[in-house]
Amino acid sequence: MKAAILAGGQGKRLRPLTNDRPKSLVEVGGRPIIEWQIRWLSRYGVKEFIVCAGYLRERFLDTIGSGARLGVRVYYSIEDEPLGTGGALRNAEGLLRCESGFICINGDILTDLDPTALVEMNGGDAVGVIGLVPLRSPYGIVEESEGVVRGFMEKPQLDHWINAGVYYLTSRIFDYLPQRGDLERDTFPNLAGRGLLRAAKFRDAFWRSIDTYKDIEEVEKELERVPSRATTA
């Protein structure tokens, strides 16, 4: 199975780290985000990757190259101007259309969820399956009763689900992608309205989105505290 990594983001909130590299090449725990991702997915048998790149795309060749160092094959789909996540995936159609289905991930997440669960959820008329993870509160929660503080919960999981940025998509997805636009804002709402999108929930998986310096610091502390939380050795 192949995987597409949507890695065209500039990562403006991570500057100056992203002044000279794409967001997906920012290091977390001494390793670029995209390398964590390739190592994670290769554990599940994914050995061919299409990197959808734009901003400072030449840096991927310097860092990842052909993928031989990681035991995989890496191909590149280049956008000359920002196309959005949907447009970027459409731009890679020539490398993916012949596949019955493929994994697609955002280039700024770290996770250890099992992508085969997405494949298993696919069926019927579904065009794709999106992974869902619990929403974590950005703040600690105070437990209070009758004006008395009973305890504290540090950033607990809330009773809501969010898009994990990990998908299994069939080749039919290319019939719904915009020339320019986003999967999340354009394609997925359209599919959901037609009943063509399914979901797989991952309640206990490790999952973090890397958007700010604080995210990097928190993930690195978590990996130091519980090494097994790393996406792979």
Active-site positions read: 155
Residues 6+ apart with CB under 8 A from 214: none
Q: Write the DSSP assignment of 84-143 as a string of letters.
A: HHHHHHHHTHHHHTTSSEEEEEETTEEE---THHHHHH--TT-SEEEEEEEEEPSS-EEE
Do 143 and 150 meet the contact criterion of CB atoms below 8 Å apart?
A: yes
Angle at the Cα of 128 from the Cα atoms of 127 and 134, rounded to 5 degrees:
150
Query: If we measure between CA atoms, which residue out of 25, 93, 31 comes closest to residue 56?
Result: 25
Token pair of 144 as six digits? 């209070």
